[in-house]
């Protein structure tokens, strides 16, 4: 990837982050911490990697994304809106009466959402089923699955991992959003998951750990995963819950937070400044 | 004895602090008490207690099925477990573990499923249990409560300490309309008669008790007198209270739950088996999935307001023989 393309993806990521903050600011509360930590990975997938057609979200040959930590819906919605799956002003309707954008991603409601999630753990199995189905059909489309580090407490996650490995599903890439926090605080204090790299390797995955805020590292890892034949892949995203918004990072329990106007304004200022910085740099290459 | 102090106002104490305070008090009184939560202590209010007493307050992480099994095991070695998670995860997500490792294996665990029905609000459809009572009722010997008020919640949490088998209670974490005076006492399996009227009876539970009281006040202005019963123990059902309600000749059941498998079907079976012919209607969620929104909005969407209940009551009175 050349420097220009890298900056373009950074710009896309910064835009997703700004739109995500706006969505939650409009509502005044929400699952913002865990939405902000997956932004760069979403930007790489939807900006560069995935074979998709926003005008034809049900296209049979498309690549698939399952956000098993479904409460990251706001980040997914910002990404899909920016890609043109639906109008940008839908983003103002997050969780409002009759909305198509509920807290947790819902395949029956939102164009571009490939699977319904929100009950943690379940997306790992449904994504696995989609990967199996595509593989059996001889399709070369790929499935990208996001799970949380807290979500990985669920036994179902590991049942699905076992299956991916046994059936040699090399068309699925698992992303672990390793932001070190779950709802009741640090994963280490609530239910220590140990070493994700070792765990997924032990489950037979081609496993890599990357800086989850680096679009280049994420992109390179996805390309390396493509080369790993005969086994599923796992990319551990080293991230921060609340990435890009200092006020949020400072809150210990930042899973579902009140987002009062003053804090929202500061957050908006910070993410907008970050976006401006990337744009300036982009203008110079 | 309980005293009804309903005046249509919101409960001051939120149910969340009632749960946390009661668990903490019980734990201080009896070292056998042990409470478990599945990464939702910040939601159930037990977070501080966990930090102070990690020996009596256990976080199992996001692993509800595992939690039920662990609670079953703790019971088998003489502990008195209370567990909490959101209603859907306390019922459907971990059902087989509750059924087998607690119920069938002869263990005793008290399960608190929070945010019943529309109270799941902004968490939306995946988190909105309209079927938890149906599931839990089907476990042999299980006791099932739908809590209408904070005073009742505190009392039930204490009283179930010595219950055997599976005990399930659903309650909001926020606040409902205040029904009972502080210090009121109740009896498991015995419904509370909140108001007596000759024209029809509403047998309600949980969220719908307050709505039924509001409906009764409105209907009284039109000269229609309503009996209101808080059937807070949904299983075992108080058949005597059902028979008493049948004296009005018209019964409407009201629940923040699917009309399938909940209070309404239970009351209907009781009426038929007691040979009590009345005009009857089940008022509740009409076999639909949940969705996202504020509680008020969702109450309107699913017809769970006093206004909707009034329509059902009038319809049912019109069918009286
Ligand atoms: C089965 C299930 N149990 C509990 C919850 C409630 N819940 C939502 S998010 C969450 C914590 C998830 O932590 P993690 O996966 O690390 O998400 P992140 O920190 O990345 O937002 C919990 C307990 C749920 N949605 N589903």
Contact B39 A191 (CB under 8 A): yes
In a domain, B187, yes or no: no
Same domain, B160 and B52: yes
B44 alpha carbon, distance to own chain's centre: 16
CA distance A76 to A64: 13
pLDDT in tens, chain B (321 residues): 999 999 999 888 899 999 999 999 999 999 999 999 999 999 999 999 999 999 999 999 999 999 999 999 999 999 999 999 999 999 999 999 999 999 999 999 999 999 999 999 999 999 999 999 999 999 999 999 999 999 999 999 999 999 999 999 999 999 999 999 999 999 999 999 999 999 999 999 999 999 999 999 999 999 999 999 999 999 999 999 999 999 999 999 999 999 999 999 999 999 999 999 999 999 999 999 999 999 999 999 999 999 999 999 999 999 998
Instruction: Return phi, psi of residue A139, to 5°.
Output: -80, 150
CA distance A151 to B96: 20
In a domain, B186, yes or no: no
**Domain boundary residue among B120, B139, B171?**
B171
Question: Around B107, how many Cα atoms within 13 Å sit in the side-chain half-sphere?
Answer: 25
Same domain, B164 and B242: no
List the 8-67 stretch of A: residues with Cβ below 8 A of B: 29-30
Look at residue B293 in the predicted model and tell me its pLDDT: 97
Question: Around B177, how many Cα atoms within 13 Å sit in the side-chain half-sphere?
Answer: 20
User: With 90 as the cut, is the pLDDT of residue A205 above it?
Assistant: yes
Same domain, B271 and B217: yes
Q: Looking at the DSSP assignment, which residues form a beta bridge with residue B215?
A: none
Look at residue B11 in the predicted model and tell me its pLDDT: 83
> For the residues A138-148, what does the mean pLDDT come to?
97
Least CB-CB distance to A118: which of B40, B41, B124? B124
Look at residue B321 in the predicted model and tell me its pLDDT: 82
The parent domain of residue B208 ranges over 192-318
Other CB atoms closer than 10 Å to residue B223's CB: what's the count? 7
In a domain, B249, yes or no: yes
Please indicate if any CB of chain A lies within 8 Å of the CB of B43.
yes
The parent domain of residue A199 ranges over 3-283
In a domain, B1, yes or no: no
Same domain, B230 and B129: no
Same domain, B133 and B227: no
Structure tokens at A128: 């696995």
Residues of B carrying an active site annotation: 64
User: With 90 as the cut, is the pLDDT of residue A175 above it?
Assistant: yes
pLDDT tens digits for A40-83?
Answer: 999 999 999 999 999 999 999 999 999 999 999 999 999 999 99
User: With 90 as the cut, is the pLDDT of residue A32 above it?
Assistant: yes
Look at residue B10 in the predicted model and tell me its pLDDT: 87
Q: Does any ligand 1 atom lie closer than 6 A to the CB of residue A241? A: yes
CA distance B127 to B289: 10
Q: Looking at the DSSP assignment, which residues form a beta bridge with residue B146?
A: B170
Under 8 Å between Cβ of B83 and B36 = yes
Same domain, B219 and B91: no
**Helix intervals (H) in A45-87:** 73-83
Confidence of residue A159 (pLDDT cuts 50, 70, 90): very high
> For the residues A22-29, what does the mean pLDDT come to?
96
Q: Looking at the DSSP assignment, which residues form a beta bridge with residue B281?
A: B252
Number of structural domains in chain B: 2
Under 8 Å between Cβ of A16 and A41 = no
Q: Looking at the DSSP assignment, which residues form a beta bridge with residue B203?
A: B229, B253
Same domain, B242 and B279: yes
Same domain, B54 and B150: yes
What is the b/e burial string over A158-180, where b = at least 16 CB atoms within 10 angstroms of the residue's CB?
bebbebbbeeebbbbbbbbbbbb
Contacts of B109 (CB under 8 A, 6+ apart): B68, B71, B72, B75, B81, B82, B83, B98, B102, B166, B167
In a domain, B78, yes or no: yes
Q: Looking at the DSSP assignment, which residues form a beta bridge with residue B114?
A: B86, B171
Best of B125, B294, B301 to mutate (most A CBs within 10 Å, chain A): B125
What separation in angstroms does the CA of B284 have from each of A166, B302, B313? 46, 8, 13
Say if strands B226-230 and B192-195 run parallel, antiparallel, or are unpaired.
Answer: antiparallel
CATH number of domain containing B154 = 3.40.50.970
Q: Does any ligand 1 atom lie closer than 6 A to the CB of residue A212? A: no
Least CB-CB distance to B292: which of A102, A116, A190? A102
In a domain, B47, yes or no: yes
| Burial of A137: CB neighbours in 10 Å, binned 0-12, 13-18, 19+ | exposed
Number of structural domains in chain A: 1
Which residue's alpha carbon is at the smallest distance from atom 17 of ligand 1? A148
Say if strands A29-30 and A257-258 run parallel, antiparallel, or are unpaired.
Answer: antiparallel
Best of A102, A106, A159 to mutate (most B CBs within 10 Å, chain B): A102
CA distance A242 to A179: 9
* pTM assigned to the model: 0.97
Distance from CA of B294 to the nearest CA of A (A): 8
> For the residues A194-203, what does the mean pLDDT come to?
98
B36 alpha carbon, distance to own chain's centre: 20
In a domain, B149, yes or no: yes
Please indicate if any CB of chain B lies within 8 Å of the CB of A97.
yes
CATH number of domain containing A182 = 3.40.50.970
Look at residue B122 in the predicted model and tell me its pLDDT: 97
pLDDT tens digits for A217-269?
Answer: 999 999 999 999 999 999 999 999 999 999 999 999 999 999 999 999 999 99
Under 8 Å between Cβ of B309 and B215 = yes
In a domain, B223, yes or no: yes
Same domain, B220 and B276: yes
Other CB atoms closer than 10 Å to residue A261's CB: what's the count? 9
Same domain, B232 and B150: no
Same domain, B19 and B165: yes
Under 8 Å between Cβ of B175 and B140 = no
Under 8 Å between Cβ of A28 and A260 = yes
Q: Is the peptide bond before B101 cis (omega within 30 degrees of 0)?
A: no
Other CB atoms closer than 10 Å to residue A82's CB: what's the count? 19
| Nearest Cα residue in chain B from A27 | B122
Under 8 Å between Cβ of B292 and B123 = yes
| Nearest Cα residue in chain B from A96 | B293
């Amino acid at each position: 990837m050349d420097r220009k393309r890298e900056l373009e993806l950074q710009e896309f990521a910064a835009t997703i982050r700004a739109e995500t903050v706006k969505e939650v600011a409009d509502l005044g509360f929400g699952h913002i911490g865990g939405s902000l930590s997956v932004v760069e990975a979403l930007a790489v997938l939807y900006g560069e990697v995935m074979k998709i057609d926003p005008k034809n979200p049900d296209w049979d040959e498309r690549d698939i994304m399952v956000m098993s930590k479904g409460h990251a819906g706001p980040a997914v919605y910002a990404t899909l809106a920016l890609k043109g799956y639906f109008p940008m002003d839908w983003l103002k309707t997050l969780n409002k009466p009759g909305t198509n954008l509920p807290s947790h991603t819902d395949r029956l409601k939102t164009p571009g959402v490939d699977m319904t999630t929100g009950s943690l753990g379940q997306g790992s199995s449904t994504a696995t089923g989609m990967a199996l189905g595509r593989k059996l059909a001889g399709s070369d489309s790929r499935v990208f699955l996001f799970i949380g580090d807290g979500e990985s407490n669920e036994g179902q996650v590991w049942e699905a991992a076992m299956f991916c490995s046994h059936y040699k599903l090399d068309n699925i890439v698992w992303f672990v959003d390793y932001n070190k926090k779950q709802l009741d605080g640090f994963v280490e204090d609530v239910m220590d998951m140990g070493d994700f790299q070792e765990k997924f390797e032990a489950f037979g995955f081609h496993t890599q750990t990357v800086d989850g805020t680096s679009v280049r590292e994420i992109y390179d890892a996805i390309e390396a995963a493509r080369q790993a034949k005969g086994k599923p892949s796992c990319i551990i995203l080293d991230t921060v819950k609340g990435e890009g918004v200092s006020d949020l990072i400072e809150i210990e329990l930042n899973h579902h937070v009140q987002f009062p106007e003053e804090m929202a304004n500061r957050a908006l200022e910070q993410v907008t400044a970050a976006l401006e910085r990337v744009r300036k740099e982009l203008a110079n290459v | 004895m309980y005293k009804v102090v309903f005046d249509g106002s919101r409960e001051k104490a939120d149910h969340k602090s009632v749960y946390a305070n009661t668990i903490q008090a019980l734990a201080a009184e009896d070292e056998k008490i042990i409470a478990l939560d599945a990464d939702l202590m910040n939601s159930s209010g037990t977070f501080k207690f966990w930090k102070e007493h990690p020996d009596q307050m256990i976080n199992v992480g996001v692993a509800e099925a595992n939690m039920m099994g662990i609670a079953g095991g703790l019971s088998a070695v003489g502990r008195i477990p209370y567990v909490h998670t959101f209603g859907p995860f306390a019922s459907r997500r971990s059902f087989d573990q509750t059924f087998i490792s607690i119920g069938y294996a002869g263990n005793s665990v008290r399960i608190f499923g929070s945010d019943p029905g529309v109270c799941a609000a902004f968490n939306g459809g995946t988190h909105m249990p309209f079927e938890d009572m149906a599931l839990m009722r089907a476990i042999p010997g299980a006791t099932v409560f739908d809590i209408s008020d904070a005073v009742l919640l505190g009392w039930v949490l204490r009283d179930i300490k010595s219950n055997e088998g599976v005990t399930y209670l659903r309650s909001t974490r926020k606040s409902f309309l205040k029904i009972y005076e502080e210090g009121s006492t109740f009896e498991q399996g015995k419904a509370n008669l909140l108001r007596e009227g000759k024209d029809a009876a509403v047998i309600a539970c949980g969220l719908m008790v307050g709505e039924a009281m509001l409906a009764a006040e409105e209907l009284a202005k039109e000269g229609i007198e309503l009996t209101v019963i808080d059937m807070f123990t949904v299983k075992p059902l108080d058949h005597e209270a059902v028979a008493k309600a049948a004296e009005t000749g018209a019964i409407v059941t009201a629940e923040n739950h699917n009309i399938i498998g909940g209070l309404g079907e239970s009351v209907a079976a009781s009426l038929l088996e007691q040979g009590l012919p009345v005009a009857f209607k089940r008022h509740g969620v009409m076999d639909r999935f949940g969705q996202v929104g504020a509680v008020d909005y969702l109450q309107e969407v699913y017809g769970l307001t006093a206004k909707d209940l009034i329509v059902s009551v009038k319809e049912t009175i019109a069918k009286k023989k």
